[in-house]
Structure 1
């Protein structure tokens, strides 16, 4: 899969000269609704025997329009999004920097420069896709703007258990800890990344050694609590239980941490990149009266986690 980075105004020499079917969107999460857009575009590309291209953005438009001062927490940071695109058979990605200058491009100019000049034979997007200053252009106005220079294919919303698949819905579920409800919307288990770092080694002293994980600042974690997880370490998945929280049993004023106890795993893997699949919420973080109560609860957490993980292999 080829990736072409564009900064407005770009040079035409940067653009691939072959005709494409162009799927457009930010695609945060690449959920089942986004997948429908990509699948519709892929089908059209196969029919026309041309390349499948995606036009997406390096950051969310709200950073420009809302003047965000804090980093946004994405469901799929760019690297993960690109991995999914490649897995879905995308041939070419135009990664456009979303800037104030781009946000002010009028719809007619945007269509010319980011559809026609990209040699789009067809443009595919979701029903709610917008572009232009203050989102004044959308899929209803695009056919008129296209002026028969390319075909416009609008993909309708996908319902999951009667609710429209949407990135905002996924974020709300993660913020409530309901990771198991996110899975059918994504059509996969929610996954984050991180690096293993040194911690206090308190878990090892209790017989529950943990991986202490530092996650990217732009990646969205679920709500604080204890979860059933799988972790990819050195190209192998291991089951375990994770806690996001402040280790309140050991005192107030502690920083938030992500600690994962992996079952049947004792290797030292400091500095390793890992992936984490978030399967099920177990409980909230609790301040225990002492170590014995905490250890008793950890035994129960492990039993519940192993029981759940066993269902995945059945």
Structure 2
């Protein structure tokens, strides 16, 4: 089982949780295929040396410390989901280091001395574009062996490309694809569908009157939802995995300027599940949100959406 340690700089030189280990470092938002290549390389070295595999990651998102960012910030994988995914890759320990101005101002030499060595890294593994040190004079992985000065080994994992393309797999590009509903591209980069969590809450109960009852999902603010639209989804709920179609939108047919909500029509499911925690796998974009002129037009479109969703599952 993967153990999460939330830590803060300065680290105690007698840091109790540390022991000699292989350390992979990065923010790892999304734990996409590029990140997975880093973890797999670190795992290979940890197994060869008979050492635990640890990950050094950060919170909050580094961009929030270095620059002004649009708020609220949405991660592809909040820390709990990130730890779970890293655990599936064989990571024993995750150190989530609170990224503050003090930590971000450390020189590369001090970062090595006061973080990596305190964590007893014997091998440090990171992607080719990983940076450390203050914004004005950040150091890259090519210089880490110099700063390590023989006290630990360094392995750099080269750029991982999107299948069939030349672009590197990147969290920023995944966020853009997600916002635009390009879910196949998101899945190709992550190596799995994008997943969000939430809790079933009460809505307007309007779907029942239309013949398409929905569960309304409250999604934590720090999670990244796809853009407004209608989607094919798979939902883990009440111990079951259920297929369905989801709407992210404002219900503009009935009222303008409503808050964005997540409503899911589950196929072959008829239970009262208020308060249940759910996970949603976002599989395929069907269409954008439309303000229909009549309820009858909306119902006709929902029939088409359901048929298209069922066809998607038949073909996939």
Structure 1-normalised TM-score? 0.97
> Aligned residue for 2:148?
146
Match of 2:297 among 288, 293, 300: 293
Match of 1:218 among 213, 217, 222: 222
> Aligned residue for 2:58?
57
Q: Does 1:188 align with 2:189?
A: no
| TM-superposition CA deviations, 1:228-261 (whole Å, max 9, x none) | 0001102221000001111110021211111000
> Aligned residue for 1:38?
39
After superposition, residues 51-130 of structure 1 pair within 5 angstroms as: 51-68=52-69, 70-130=71-131
CA distance in 2: counterparts of 1:105 and 1:166, whole angstroms: 26
CA distance in 1: counterparts of 2:296 and 2:149, whole angstroms: 72
CA distance in 1: counterparts of 2:255 and 2:4, whole angstroms: 48
CA distance in 2: counterparts of 1:261 and 1:12, whole angstroms: 54
Q: How many residues align?
A: 312
Give secondary structure in 2 for the equivalent of 1:164. Answer: coil
Displaced runs of 4+ in structure 1, greater than 2 A? 12-18
- Specify every segment of 5 or more residues in structure 2 that has no aligned partner in the other structure, as ranges: none
My pick for the range that moved more, 15-24 or 76-85, is 15-24
After superposition, residues 219-234 of structure 1 pair within 5 angstroms as: 219-234=223-238
| TM-superposition CA deviations, 1:88-113 (whole Å, max 9, x none) | 11111111001111111111110112
> Aligned residue for 1:136?
138
CA distance in 2: counterparts of 1:311 and 1:300, whole angstroms: 16
Residues 277 and 17 from structure 1, CA distance in 2 versus in 1: closer, same or farther, beyond 3 angstroms?
A: closer
CA RMSD, 1 decimal: 1.2
CA distance in 1: counterparts of 2:102 and 2:265, whole angstroms: 47
Structure 2-normalised TM-score? 0.96
CA distance in 1: counterparts of 2:13 and 2:251, whole angstroms: 54
